[in-house]
Amino acid sequence: MKVFSKITLLLCLAISVGCQDFLEENPKNLLTVDDIPHTVEGAEKLVFAAYENWTEGTKLYARWMPLWEIGTDNMAPQELYSTVVAPYVTHTLTATEQFMYTGVWGPLWQGVADANNAIDLISAITEISEEEKAPIIGEALFMRALYYYHLVRMWGDQPIFLESVNSLTAIKVAERQSVEEVYEQVIIPDLIEAADLLPGSYTGDDIGRMTKWSAKVVLAEVYLTRAGWRRTSQGQMVQGDAKYYELAQDAAWEVIQNPDGFDIHTSFIGTEPAYARPWLEAFSSESLVEFGNLAGMGIGAEGEGLYLVSEVLMARQNLFWGNSPEVNSSPLSGGKRGFYIPTPDFFRTFEAGDERKEWGLLSKTTMADGSTGYTNPVFRKWADPAIYNGNDGVIDNDGENNIVLYRVADALLIYAEAVNEVNGAPTAQAYAQINRLRNRAGLGDLPLGLDYEGFKKVVWQERRVELHAECKRKFDLIRTNRLLEESNTRDVYYSSSDNPDYLGATVINDILVNAPVTTYPAHEHLWPIPVDEMTLNKSWVQNDGY
């Protein structure tokens, strides 16, 4: 038996559910088909393990995935940032960085392991029919594809594991395969098969599980990504094959035309705009990939609430834009809140009257005591209003927020962008999809007559404002080859004029809320392979620049 004082999380591949402190060459604790109930419910429990990694405890989107977005033109931490986020702010990231490793890399590989285990064990159950197995295996295939899709975009070349691994030696000798091979051998075929196996919708308590349209919308984005730019693990910027644009167009159109009732919301919910509904109604009919959280069920590593809210609303009682509307004497200084907060550049990118800004960027609220409170802008999608408002009894890291990863809105945007690329100009249908999103946000139609370049820039802008705080900005900037250009030239300072309630006689234009710009290095298109993995896999070569 070999003992590891700090076990590598890639070794989760050798364990069924969760990493252990000890590994054997042929682990005795590997689940077998005899260890699970031979029922539909037993099969479902296996696949549900692959769901949990996305928002469980402090994993991935529960806390650490937004580190990927830090330093882009959309998001930067508070100016008085902590050592936790310092490597991402100052672009001094190394292979030894803890939270990249334990918070993102590890849970992604755990998800691959959970999906592989589910596929292998469910396939071996003979007591349930192939018809009953099919959609559950479809869920596992979808999850494996989604985990690998994150891995290749964030770290480049990856080893390919398509079945459970029960040998330490097999892991130690696994070679990294090219990004192209991972897409063509794992991600794309898994999504295509998942779309064939999954139902178009669920009812009752099963609403929220992955459907055919979950697979199709991710597949559409995968094709869009394959057509775009990326940095290789060896350090070259390469552009994908334009043939993928047509595939993206077709997959996105299938989602738009789906017969199962998924569509963008166009009606208000109470006084809240239609745009807000996916975050106000759990598993709404616009949502295609969503992971749930439940406050009040424990916090920390075992909690069911969303830990991320604490990183958005740190020091929540320190009000930035004054303590009341009578702020004529306020110096506009005070609490600078959160690891993950909007930049002035992003705050000013919206058109006047855009409800996506009015709802999506919180800066004013009625506090629990009835007073008016102001903060620097924070992302509403990640902020629990009960915590933001200072309600009694709330716990700062126990948010009642779901993470919505993909919506029908994604399909509209993908379709419009792909159509423009395929035809060299926008079509009436491409215009229509963008106008649907603009109109529901309270904006008018796009001007007619845009050429290829003009429409492309419009779609990029619509993606920026529509999909904000959904961890898609850096991925978009990379595939359109704009990461360095946009991130290095963002606005740094807020102004008193950004606050419509500011009554002061003196305009203040140098309010430093976010961390200043540090030049984005080219090698941070990818993150470094964690040092523990490099130590285990002697043949691996570190990503260029690290």
Residue located via tokens 């941070």: 524
**Has residue 293 got a pLDDT over 90?**
no
The pLDDT assigned to 388 comes to 73
Residues 117, 237: Cα–Cα separation, whole Å? 35
On whether the CB atoms of residues 159 and 176 are closer than 8 A, the answer is: yes
Residue (of 540, 483, 481) closest to 91 by Cα position: 483
Q: In the structure, what pLDDT confidence band is assigned to residue 196 with cuts at 50, 70 and 90? A: very high
The pLDDT assigned to 165 comes to 81
Instruction: List C-alpha distances in Å: 204 to 341, 439, 443, 451.
Output: 36, 32, 35, 46
Instruction: Go through 164-181 and write b for each residue having 16 or more CB atoms within 10 A of its CB, e for each that does not.
Output: bbbebeebeebebbebee
Instruction: List C-alpha distances in Å: 526 to 284, 424, 523, 536.
Output: 33, 30, 6, 20
Q: Which helix (H) or strand (E) holds 42?
A: helix 40-52
Residue located via tokens 């999103």: 437
The pLDDT assigned to 327 comes to 45
Average pLDDT score over residue span 288-292:
93
**Has residue 236 got a pLDDT over 70?**
yes
The pLDDT assigned to 365 comes to 76
What sign does the CA torsion over 507, 513, 517, 523 have?
Answer: negative
Q: Which helix (H) or strand (E) holds 414?
A: helix 408-423
The pLDDT assigned to 167 comes to 62
pLDDT in tens, 163-190: 988 666 677 789 999 999 999 999 999 9
Instruction: List C-alpha distances in Å: 66 to 10, 347, 466, 476, 481.
Output: 21, 18, 17, 14, 20
Phi, psi of 90 (to 5 degrees): -90, 0
**Has residue 9 got a pLDDT over 60?**
no
pLDDT in tens, 422-471: 999 999 999 999 999 999 999 999 999 999 999 999 999 999 999 999 99
Instruction: Go through 352-376 and write b for each residue having 16 or more CB atoms within 10 A of its CB, e for each that does not.
Output: eebbbbbbbbbbbbeeeeeebbbbb
Using CB atoms within 10 A of its CB, is residue 449 exposed (0-12), middle (13-18) or buried (19+)?
exposed
| Percent of the chain scoring above 70 in pLDDT | 83
**Has residue 294 got a pLDDT over 60?**
no
Sort residue 116 into left (φ over 0), alpha (ψ -120 to 50) or beta: alpha
pLDDT in tens, 309-320: 777 765 544 445
Angle at 56 between CA 53 and CA 60, to 5 degrees: 60
User: 3-state SS of 432-488?
Assistant: HHHHHHHHHCCCCCCCCCCCHHHHHHHHHHHHHHHCCCCCCHHHHHHHCCCHHHHHH
Q: Report the C-alpha dihedral over residues 138, 139, 142, 147, rounded to 10 degrees.
A: -140
The pLDDT assigned to 317 comes to 46
Instruction: Go through 262-300 and write b for each residue having 16 or more CB atoms within 10 A of its CB, e for each that does not.
Output: bbbbeeeeeeebbbbbbbeebbbbbbbbbbbbebeeebe
Using CB atoms within 10 A of its CB, is residue 79 exposed (0-12), middle (13-18) or buried (19+)?
middle
Average pLDDT score over residue span 13-21:
40
| Percent of the chain scoring above 90 in pLDDT | 66
On whether the CB atoms of residues 382 and 316 are closer than 8 A, the answer is: no
How far is Cα of residue 160 from the mean position of the Cα atoms in its chain?
A: 22
pLDDT in tens, 127-168: 999 999 999 999 999 999 999 999 999 999 999 999 988 666
Using CB atoms within 10 A of its CB, is residue 339 exposed (0-12), middle (13-18) or buried (19+)?
buried
Residue 230 bridge partners (DSSP) = 238
Among the residue ranges 142-146, 265-269, 305-309, 499-503, the one predicted with the least confidence is 305-309
Angle at 426 between CA 479 and CA 411, to 5 degrees: 55
The pLDDT assigned to 207 comes to 95
Residue 158 bridge partners (DSSP) = 177
Tokens of 537: 């896999």
Among the residue ranges 49-53, 214-218, 416-420, 523-527, the one predicted with the least confidence is 49-53
Average pLDDT score over residue span 217-230:
98
Neighbouring CB atoms inside 10 A of 10's CB total: 27
Half-sphere exposure of 464 (CA within 13 A, CB side): 23
pLDDT in tens, 206-216: 999 999 999 99
Q: In the structure, what pLDDT confidence band is assigned to residue 16 with cuts at 50, 70 and 90? A: very low
Q: Which helix (H) or strand (E) holds 373?
A: strand 372-379
**Has residue 302 got a pLDDT over 70?**
no
Write out the DSSP string of 300-364. GGG-SSBTHHHHHSTTTTS-SS-SSS--TT--S-S----SSEE-HHHHTSSPTT-HHHHHHEEEE
**Which residues are within 8 A (CB) of 431 and not within 5 positions of it... i.e. 6 or more apart?**
416, 445, 446, 448
Q: Which helix (H) or strand (E) holds 231?
A: strand 229-231
Q: In the structure, what pLDDT confidence band is assigned to residue 123 with cuts at 50, 70 and 90? A: very high
The pLDDT assigned to 335 comes to 47
Instruction: List C-alpha distances in Å: 70 to 83, 369, 524.
Output: 14, 34, 11
Instruction: List C-alpha distances in Å: 245 to 223, 300, 418, 474.
Output: 7, 42, 5, 20
Phi, psi of 514 (to 5 degrees): -85, 160
The pLDDT assigned to 11 comes to 43
Q: Which helix (H) or strand (E) holds 413?
A: helix 408-423
Using CB atoms within 10 A of its CB, is residue 377 exposed (0-12), middle (13-18) or buried (19+)?
buried
The pLDDT assigned to 308 comes to 74
